[in-house]
Amino acid sequence: MLDHLIKGVTVIDGSGGPAFVADVGIRDGRIAVIGQVSEEARTSEDAAGLVLAPGFVDPHTHYDAQLFWDPYATPSLNHGVTTVAGGNCGFTLAPLNPARPEDADYTRRMMSKVEGMSLVALEEGAPWSWHSFGEYLDALEGRIAVNAGFMVGHCALRRYVMGPEAVGGQPTGEQLAQMLTLFHEAMEAGAWGLSTTQSSTHSDGDGKPVASRHAKPAELLALSQAVGDHEGTQIEAIVAGCLDQFSDDEIDLFVEMSAAAGRPLNWNVLTIDSSVPERVPRQLAASERARKAGGRIVALTMPILTPMNMSLGTFCALNLIPGWGEVLGLPVPERIAKLRDPVVRSEMLRRADSKEAGVFRRLADFGRYVIGDTYSAENEGLTGRVVRDIAAERGEEPFQCIIEICANDRMRTVLWPMPTDNDPDSWTLRQETWRHEDVLLGGSDAGAHLDRMCGAPYTTRFIGDCVRGRKLVTLEQAVKMLTDDPARLFGLRERGRIEEGFHADLVLFDPERIDAGKATLVHDLPGDSPRLDSKAIGITAVWVNGVEAIRGDVVSGAVPGKVLRSGRDTRTVSTK
């Protein structure tokens, strides 16, 4: 007897092949039968007119902490995501050295700063009961509703072995050997491989460059070589050039790391903008070089324009513009005084529009910002208005206008920059770039930057916008890009397609309605901390390992997800 039968549904199996109508039966967590099914089932439903696809796979998340207080990884699960990859960008909650209990506090403060997680939620929402990476994975086992696999963060490896000297120091030969031993143990316990960052935007809770940014190429190559000693592993890495264009040295480093491991290396995020036509070919040159050297480099790119709210009062992307952090990090009264100084403003604008600002130059057109929430009588009626229009009425420059509005709110004003890359040429360039064999959809950062952005719904918004709306790809292509493509990159065993014998990770949706709702601020984290959320539209149900986890955008209460461990749940994707 089947556990559940979905009758008369349009199946898009993830292979890229044409859709077909069939019955799909689930038994013991797997897809038992596809076709005309007469076998009895404990439960069944008529799904005529709906589409059944494999569960979506998000290749870049930061759910490492959130899964402890939110086993459903919302809102990703609501939007059809059944498998998430965590432990990215060099940042993980494990391992922690038992001889230094203070390392847990350092890690929490670092994650709060660099990944925009609520410090209160990190302190109150996770047990922090582990030391080894394997103990961290064990702490999640049996209590999550999505499937989750995790890389090992280079910063945690360095901190465990080197302590505070991990920031600014170089390991001795003995310390590097200890780091490698610790790393091997993590992969033996099921870690997916190495994640590391050398990005200039990544600083810890003390404002110092995070630990992995101090690593020399020899250390990175030694860790990369260790990745190749284990089944089903790979590398995720970030360098400064990921945000704009790689330097020759960065390309050399990526190529050598991937070739040393004999494993794919993925990075994020490839920003596609027709006003910078040289960026895509430059970034993908790394992939071409890697293939010639026996490696593989995969670029993640978001298929939607992810709305991000900004503020002059809290840490956000504006702080990452060169020279801006020093001003925006001042106490509020001093910050307002500095920002009102025409000389300071002029220098900030110059640096925001300079080459050194890289991709953050996109944030420098302040006339295109929209005013969000306001908090003072002086700003009443400004919500939803474009800064350029307000500035023209007041006879002010747009940046000066924004500063005065924010000063009225004591810097609490929410600012929404309108994207600069929403033109037809940029969408045509995206359509072309998605066809590249080393480009993968993803980069949501789900679980991070919680009150600043909401990338988790990219799956449903992509289908609603780029398939049904812009018609850039077919629905069959879109499903493959969200399921089988990332599953194959990670070497996921029996996931990513609707095939008999595969794990029953499934999403049932209405192709005429599927989309994502507007991002709204909610206060549902531990400590009543805020985050942006987005409702799923047109998703009927989501199954994880054959168990219904979502029905009508409401979680079922079941926790059928599995901690996916390298080797057991992933197979090697070799570059050799």
pLDDT of residue 418: 87
CA atoms within 13 A on the CB side of 179: 30
CA atoms within 13 A on the CB side of 304: 26
pLDDT of residue 472: 97
The residue whose two tokens read 């330097």 is 247
Residue 18: other Cβ atoms inside 10 A: 9
Q: Model's pTM, two decimal places?
A: 0.92
Which run of H or of E encompasses 268? Answer: strand 264-268
Residue 278: other Cβ atoms inside 10 A: 8
Q: Tens digits of per-residue pLDDT, 309-328? A: 888 988 888 988 989 989 99
Tell me which residue of 395, 490, 505, 375 sits closest to 76, measured CA to CA: 505
- The token pair at 561 is 């997800």
pLDDT of residue 451: 78
pLDDT of residue 15: 98
Cα separation, 453 vs 308, in Å, equals 4
Which run of H or of E encompasses 551? Answer: strand 547-551
Q: Is the bond into 269 cis (omega within 30 degrees of 0)? A: yes
Please classify residue 373 by burial: count the beta carbons closer than 10 Å to its beta carbon, then call 0-12 exposed, 13-18 middle and 19+ buried.
Answer: middle
CA angle 53, 57, 62 (to 5 degrees): 150
pLDDT tens track of the chain, all 576 residues?
999 999 999 999 999 999 999 999 999 999 999 999 999 999 999 999 999 999 999 999 999 999 999 999 999 999 999 999 999 999 999 999 999 999 999 999 999 999 989 999 999 999 999 999 999 999 999 999 999 999 999 999 999 999 999 999 999 999 999 999 999 999 999 999 999 999 988 999 998 999 999 999 999 999 999 999 999 999 999 999 998 999 999 999 999 999 999 999 999 999 999 999 999 999 999 999 999 999 999 999 999 998 788 889 888 889 889 899 899 989 999 999 999 999 999 999 999 988 888 878 888 899 999 998 899 999 999 998 999 999 999 999 999 999 999 999 999 999 988 888 889 999 999 999 999 999 999 999 999 988 788 999 999 999 999 999 999 999 999 999 999 999 999 999 999 999 999 999 999 999 999 999 988 888 898 988 889 899 999 999 999 999 999 999 999 999 999 999 999 999 999 897
Residue 555: other Cβ atoms inside 10 A: 18
pLDDT of residue 538: 98
In sequence order, the 6+-apart residues with CB closer than 8 A to the CB of 102 are none
- The token pair at 117 is 């997680």
pLDDT of residue 180: 98
CA atoms within 13 A on the CB side of 42: 9
Contact yes or no for 142/79 (Cβ under 8 A)? no
pLDDT of residue 177: 98
Cα separation, 234 vs 217, in Å, equals 17
In sequence order, the 6+-apart residues with CB closer than 8 A to the CB of 103 are 96, 97, 159, 160, 163
Cα separation, 300 vs 368, in Å, equals 27
Which run of H or of E encompasses 255? Answer: helix 248-261
Residue type, 420: T
